[in-house]
Amino acid sequence: MVRPRNCRRVGSMPESNYFKPRGIPLSMLEEVILTVDEFEAIRLADLESLYQEQAAEKMNVSRPTFGRIIESAHKKVAEALVRGKALKIEGGEFEMASIRKFRCYDCQHSWELPYGTGRPGNCPSCKSGNIRRAEEDRGYVGGLVEDKEGVVVGLNKNSSKREMSPNIAKRRGNPNNGHQYQ
């Protein structure tokens, strides 16, 4: 599959994409735009405390590139905090990581698998068949914008992120139709 160069892999979209200082009307605020790949860099380096090498690997970029992304991200967050600006998270060159999360309802074990490997039949920990896609994996399904090859390229702002269309729900229920959401 041909992908644009430098496409940064993002494992998680922001729960909320707008932060503003309380008590100041939006019209009076300056905005800082944090791109989704910068948001991901903060998540990996500052929240998950990954080393830059590991974080760079997760985002499919070189370590120096990761260093530049996180530096820019820190500057923007600092600017918003210190200067009292609104922080908006949007845009950037990225694709969603092709990872599916599963959870076992019997032992609560959870694990991740890449797309294209088929739905697992049993929990790798206790062998139970009582497994489901993990809830945190279902966030943006209704609002994802995909390119022709099914690579997620962004969010559809007109669509609620918690909404799951009946079609997608149906596709999820059928493990043999080859769709990426299986």
- List residues near Zn ion by CB under 5 A: 104, 106-107, 109, 123, 125-126, 128
Q: How far is the CB of 100 from Zn ion (least distance, A)?
A: 16
In the bound state with Zn ion, the residue whose beta carbon lies nearer, of 70 and 131, is 131
Q: How far is the CB of 98 from Zn ion (least distance, A)?
A: 24
In the bound state with Zn ion, the residue whose beta carbon lies nearer, of 62 and 125, is 125
83 CB-near residues (< 8 Å, 6+ apart):
30
Q: How far is the CB of 165 from Zn ion (least distance, A)?
A: 29
In the bound state with Zn ion, the residue whose beta carbon lies nearer, of 126 and 145, is 126
Distance CA 6, CA 98 (A): 16
Q: How far is the CB of 176 from Zn ion (least distance, A)?
A: 23
CA-angle at 60, arms to 58 and 64, nearest 5°: 100
In the bound state with Zn ion, the residue whose beta carbon lies nearer, of 19 and 111, is 111
Distance CA 175, CA 26 (A): 46
Amino acid letter, residue 157: K
In the bound state with Zn ion, the residue whose beta carbon lies nearer, of 123 and 152, is 123
Could you give the 3-state DSSP secondary structure of residue 172?
helix
String of b and e for 33-63 (b: at least 16 CB within 10 Å)?
ebbbbbbbbbbbbeeeebebeebbbbbbbee
How many angstroms separate the Cα of 79 from the Cα of each of 34, 36, 42, 74? 11, 17, 15, 8
Q: How far is the CB of 112 from Zn ion (least distance, A)?
A: 15
Q: How far is the CB of 107 from Zn ion (least distance, A)?
A: 3
Asked if residue 128 lies in contact with residue 150, where contact means CB atoms within 8 angstroms, the answer is no
